[in-house]
Chains A and B, each alone.
Chain A
Amino acid sequence: MLNIVKTKIKLYMPLIKSMQTGLLMTTGVAGYMSARCPISSPWTMVGLILSLFLSISGSTVLNMWWDRDIDAKMGRTSKRPLVTGAMTENEALRLGLILSLMGVGLAVWMDALYGLIIFGGIFVDVVIYSMWLKRKTAWGIVWGGVSGGMPILAGRALGFGSIDWIGITLALSILFWIPTHTLTFSMKFFEDYKKAGVPTFPSTYGFKVTRIAIAVSSVLAAIAIGASAMGIGVIVGYMRILIVLSIGLLTLALMSVFNPTEKVNFGLFKYASLYMLGSMLLMMI
């Protein structure tokens, strides 16, 4: 029995994208803690983490289920369990639906507004982004960004009791941060996406425009994070670090515009994740 569980977990792990899920969960927890710090109810915290994990993992699995034909055409994703046949399509669909339903169910049980935002996030991610727009337009990533901003908005709404301007600014910071992350990725794996027929910014508008878009969205993300941090009342010392980290993001974005190299582009991709994680930690503590 234990071996079966172990095997299943090993099989399911690549479907969950642990790094991405972990990062989005961190934003959700940061949103909550921006309104409720120190934590007064450990059970709410446990519920928050669990519901975020289930719903984010669920939507990721559903995306992989839907995109299995694209994944098969791209070298980067061709080893995923749905492509190799290690897992059947139905099993993946069932897993995605069960995780999503459990996540939304728990979220609604905790708080109706929180549950609604979590449901909205899954709907936008799976239906609007993956099923409808991803294969039609390069601008689909905007909707991917909207869904990415939902965990932090939901966390903030759970902690604060309603949707306030800080929650919206926090969600905007994720929305603007996501292009820094995904557009850099789409440049690195340009050929893969082209082979799969997925329209991306580099394939539609060229590399130069994509790099400028990354730089602009980095500026907007830094402004949104700064405004949120001021609204939350982050201590001056942390604000100084936030400014320094934002300057780092802008520097790398400008370097990728004026002096682009493979290393700088992928450095920006990695730094963007680190920047978001660092910003969230600063807003949590």
Chain B
Amino acid sequence: MSSVRIPPVLRDEVGGQKAVEASGGTVSEVLDQLFAAYPALGARVTEDGRLSRFINVYVNARDVRYQQGLDTTVGPDDTVILLPAMAGG
């Protein structure tokens, strides 16, 4: 199971947790499993079943846009970070 870090603004959708566990061999599979377990989270960050563009995804601190996108491999010990921009100042 890999660990998925949830940004503060989305923690209400996962029962207040900072990180949750999800399984899957790719980012896409991990997210599918995550959204199945937490449908409220999926509703917030997907559009037409696809991950919204305003959410950055990192696997082990590396942006998947510069790897294989949602097909980027995720190992059981990897950390996936979901990160939208913050506005406040």
* A and B are interacting partners: no
Show the binding face of A for B, using Cβ within 8 Å: none
Show the binding face of B for A, using Cβ within 8 Å: none
